[in-house]
Amino acid sequence: EVHLVESGGDLAQPGGSLRLSCAATGFTFTAHSMNWVRQAPGKGLEWISYINDGSNAIYYADSIRGRFIISRDNAKNMLYLQMNSLRVEDTAVYYCARDYSWTYTIDFWGQGTLVTVSS
Amino acid sequence: DIVMTQTPLSSSVTLGQSAYISCKSSESLGHSDGHTYLSWFHQRPGLPPRLLIYKVSSRFSGVPDRLSGSGAGTDFTLEISRVEVEDVGVYYCMQAKQFPWTFGQGTKVEIK
């Protein structure tokens, strides 16, 4: 059974940093691209980043480009999101989400981890 | 970026009746590979979204055939037939023709 478990969400100050992690189990991690999608409180979904299986294709939303870095460790079945220069508007639940191979969509989502940016 | 616009933003439906959600994209979602990467997701309060439909009309594993997707180009529709209590929540369309992938604003479905 596919499981994606995010961790690392916390309260951070504006300008601060956090690192989110996502532990993937129940499937062949190296066979899937991965994404981060966020959802601000009471708001809709916002895709923010994609990384392919070999980490040689990476994409970001404009809202986070230059501040966040996506990475993965295929030996550990882990996905990461390094979040720097945090802003109040980055407050959201962050979901780790698996790419449904060759269909350009997301087939499984983690439960999410809450990031709150506030002074 | 491709803008996805959903209508209505909320819908109150009688049990057993049908609900229709429209999703329009700011440009055609037809990809050069011949596919159209338009998906639909359902999210219940406090839970992550779950995939319903991908590539316009392909139903994901375990999704009942009461749910169906259709459309082409810039206009897409999700139909929920014989609405049940489990169908309440927010529905999102998403395009993956190009990065950044973008979602519609969401359509909240409730039971009348």
A9: amino acid identity, one letter: G
Tell me the residues of A at the B interface, defined by beta carbons under 8 Å apart: 35, 44-47, 50, 59-62, 95, 100, 103-112
C-alpha pair distances (Å), A83 with each of A19, A23, A62, A95, B74: 6, 17, 14, 14, 34
The pLDDT of residue B41 is 98
- Residue B47: pLDDT band with limits 50, 70, 90: very high
Q: Do B96 and B80 meet the contact criterion of CB atoms below 8 Å apart?
A: no
Digit-coded pLDDT (tens) for B54-83: 999 999 999 999 999 999 999 999 999 999
Mean pLDDT of A4-20: 98
Give the tokens for residue A18: 């956090």
The pLDDT of residue A102 is 81
Distance CA B77, CA A112 (A): 28
Partner residue opposite A104 with nearest CB, options B50, B90, B96 = B96
- Residue B27: pLDDT band with limits 50, 70, 90: very high
The answer to whether the CB atoms of A100 and B54 lie below 8 A apart is yes
Dihedrals φ, ψ of A30, to 5°? -70, -10
Give the Cα-Cα-Cα angle A35, A38, A42 (nearest 5 degrees): 155
Digit-coded pLDDT (tens) for A71-99: 999 999 999 999 999 999 999 999 999 99
Q: Residue A103 pLDDT more than 90?
A: no
Give the tokens for residue A77: 């079945």
Q: Residue B85 pLDDT more than 90?
A: yes
The pLDDT of residue B68 is 98
Residues in chain A within 8 Å Cβ distance of B40? none
The answer to whether the CB atoms of A104 and B92 lie below 8 A apart is no
Partner residue opposite B39 with nearest CB, options A60, A62, A105 = A105
The pLDDT of residue A89 is 98
Q: Residue B24 pLDDT more than 90?
A: yes
Distance CA A99, CA A106 (A): 5
Q: Residue A101 pLDDT more than 90?
A: no
The pLDDT of residue A95 is 98
Give CA A114 to chain center in angstroms: 11
> CB contacts < 8 Å between A and B, how many?
64
Partner residue opposite B92 with nearest CB, options A35, A44, A59 = A44
Q: Do A57 and A71 meet the contact criterion of CB atoms below 8 Å apart?
A: no
Checking DSSP bridges between strand A45-51 and strand B19-25, what pairing results, if any?
Answer: unpaired
Distance CA A94, CA A40 (A): 9
Mean pLDDT of A92-107: 94
The answer to whether the CB atoms of A62 and B96 lie below 8 A apart is no
- List the single best residue of B38, B41, B51 to mutate versus A (max A Cβ within 10 A): B51
Task: Give the CA dihedral A75, A79, A84, A87, nearest 10 degrees.
Answer: -170
Q: Is the dihedral of CA A19, A24, A30, A36 positive or negative?
A: negative
Q: What percent of chain B has pLDDT over 70?
A: 100
- List the single best residue of A46, A58, A105 to mutate versus B (max B Cβ within 10 A): A105
Residues 6+ apart with CB under 8 A from B71: B23, B38, B56, B77
Residues 6+ apart with CB under 8 A from A2: A24, A25, A26, A27, A98, A108
Chain B's closest residue to A108, CA to CA, is B50
Per the prediction, chain B carries an average pLDDT of 97
Give CA A66 to chain center in angstroms: 15
Partner residue opposite A59 with nearest CB, options B37, B55, B99 = B99
The pLDDT of residue B51 is 98
Q: Nearest C-alpha of chain A: how many angstroms from B111?
A: 20
Digit-coded pLDDT (tens) for A16-65: 999 999 999 999 999 999 999 999 999 999 999 999 999 999 999 999 99
